[in-house]
Amino acid sequence: MPSPGPTFEVLADPTRLGIVERLRSGERNVGALASSLSVCQPGISRHLRILHLAGLVQVRAEGQKRFYSLRPQPFRDLDDWVHELRHLTEGRLDRLATLVEDRAPGSRSARPARWRG
Amino acid sequence: MPSPGPTFEVLADPTRLGIVERLRSGERNVGALASSLSVCQPGISRHLRILHLAGLVQVRAEGQKRFYSLRPQPFRDLDDWVHELRHLTEGRLDRLATLVEDRAPGSRSARPARWRG
DNA sequence: AGCTTATATAATCCTAAGAATATGTGTTTG
DNA sequence: CAAACACATATTCTTAGGATTATATAAGCT
């Protein structure tokens, strides 16, 4: 059971997540990504470097352009990790917690308000 | 289709990821987590607060102890997101976007040489 | 050979976030 | 009621990392 810690750190940045979501529909060069996302070109290059070091993307040079695309392996690993966790939480922890929560009438709500907005 | 950006940000921190991995085997109180991970107790409380705000964990108060456990919903969302991406990268339809976007006349095969996994 | 395009790297600045210490709040026990 | 325990919050400090500007490298184009 590998822990995809680095993958989480890489995808935590909104710009890098935006890059990955744009690469879902196919490979793109740096300039296309820089104009799509509202970040300057050196910023995109730096984020792509981080994504490449983490093994999330691969490069293909064509002329003076460099096309980046997703590598499937880290997403397979991530899927395995999350999928297992999903079934663990669906199985028993959830039920146990809600059961006990119902029998504590005076306690405050276990549900959070909202995330950042 | 939902973007689990906040979930990535939350799980990017190694301490919080460690908390989640320990909660996989069931609920724990703050002291148990603080002694398991090598972080001081206020640090654990702060990370648990972040996890709670993000909806990843829920609390159950028993006496003076507070037991934290995982909530299944955000992991379901994360699993859906990653699972979809897994199949997109496994497939061959990223070639389509390549053909649409890059119509350089003189360029021969715009495909990646090999698709290493 | 210059000139433009496409991308990478370097240097700087700045803000956000984690860690530790100290303290506050509530709960159990004597 | 006081003392000890379990946890949360406040404060301070420090560092990591993202954004921007400027520059370097390299490939077309005329």
Residue from A37, A71, A115, A116 whose CB has the most chain B CBs within 10 Å, to mutate = A115
pLDDT at B76 > cutoff 50: yes
Contacts of A11 in chain B (CB under 8 A): 8, 12
pLDDT tens digits, residue range A31-48? 999 999 989 999 999 999
pLDDT tens digits, residue range A15-32? 999 999 999 999 999 999
Residue-wise DSSP of A8-50: HHHHHSHHHHHHHHHHTTS-EEHHHHHHHTTS-HHHHHHHHHH
pTM for the full predicted model: 0.80
Interchain contact, B117 vs A73, CB within 8 Å: yes
End-to-end CA distance of chain A: 35
Chain A: residue whose CA lies nearest to B58: A110
Contacts of A24 in chain B (CB under 8 A): 85, 88-89
pLDDT tens digits, residue range B1-53? 678 879 999 999 999 999 999 999 999 999 999 999 989 999 999 999 999 99
pLDDT tens digits, residue range A52-109? 999 999 999 999 999 999 999 999 999 999 999 888 777 654 445 444 443 333 333 3
